[in-house]
Amino acid sequence: MANNKMIVEERSRNLGNFMVGRLLPFRKKRQVGPFTFIDHMGPSILMNPNYLDVDQHPHIGLSTLTYLLDGEIEHRDSTGAHKVIRAGDVGFMTAGRGVTHTERTPQSLRTRNETKLHGYQVWVALPKQLEEMEPRFDFVSADELPKIEINTLKLTLIAGDGFGLRSPLPVHSPLFMVDVEASENENLDIKGQLNGEIAVVVCKGKVMVQEEEIKEGQMLISKTENECKMRLAKNSRVLLFGGKAFPEERYMHWNFVSSSKERLDQAKEDWKNKMFPKVKGDDTYIDLPSY
């Protein structure tokens, strides 16, 4: 492995009755730009009674970005937002000073014998001055996201700026997230197209970087900002994400992210004492983990 990159293996974990693979954070790298966490959901076939049902849980100090390759997730949160996020859409919930939400398989899909789900949820830390901002939810449909073709590559800008495009999704710091699909074997040169730290998640197929093969379920992190050349194999698909890192360290406990350890402790106490806002009409509650 060349010394200007790191390769990360996906690690499985349970999310209720659903298995996900965690890619970030890991021991040698806690963040990539403002991104602090990435979970890979599926690909899975869901059927009765094992649908996606993540009960009410809290967040502070971050935005959650949900991007699906297949399937649907019904999002509800304590701001009053209620949206079904479908493949290619972007759901972006900014927790700020505190929010709760649920994520479930929509009722419309529970009448089928089975339904597919495949996608990613990433957490984006907020700048220090915005960590206590008012919670909000933003949504951009698949057909509103800017797209560009480079030779036989199709690029979709999910969030931020890159490749001469800007996503309409309101974000809170300089960052990027790009979906890249290859219909043939094709080279991609990122230099000059994206700013900041860069990570590459292989959703499907494989890519070659400096004679190293990065396969499905792995993540590549470039230690060199703004530079990364790769070759995507035919029918491969990758997500690029990253941006400028914050000057302050970020701490994480469970679903909370903050530049202050004391703020994390306060959030834990607030959740245990049920002081967070609630999702309207939902009395479910996930206990604070004991770790």
- CATH of residue 141's domain is 2.60.120.10
Is residue 229 situated within a structural domain? yes
Q: What pLDDT score was predicted for residue 217?
A: 81
Give the per-residue pLDDT at 226.
Answer: 63
**How far is residue 275's CA from residue 268's CA, in Å, rounded to a whole number?**
10
pLDDT digit string (tens) for 55-66? 999 999 999 999
For residue 268, is pLDDT > 90? yes
Is the CB of residue 256 less than 8 Å from the CB of residue 267?
yes
Neighbour tally for 262: CB within 10 Å: 9
Domain for residue 291, yes or no? no
In a domain, 221, yes or no: yes
- Chain segment 77-115, per-residue pLDDT in tens: 999 999 999 999 999 999 999 999 999 999 999 988 899
Whether 184 maps to a domain, the answer reads yes
Is residue 162 a part of any domain in this protein? yes
- Which helix (H) or strand (E) segment is 55 a member of? strand 53-59
Domain hosting 83: range is: 5-243
283: in domain: no
Question: Is 108 a member of any domain?
Answer: yes
| Range of lowest pLDDT (76-85, 180-189, 217-226, 256-265) | 217-226
What six digits make up the tokens of 198? 């860069």
Does residue 67 form part of some domain?
yes
Tens-place pLDDT, residues 109-158? 998 889 999 999 999 999 999 999 999 999 999 999 999 999 999 999 99
Number of domains in the chain: 1
Q: Quick one: which of 52, 75, 88 has its CA closest to 137?
A: 75
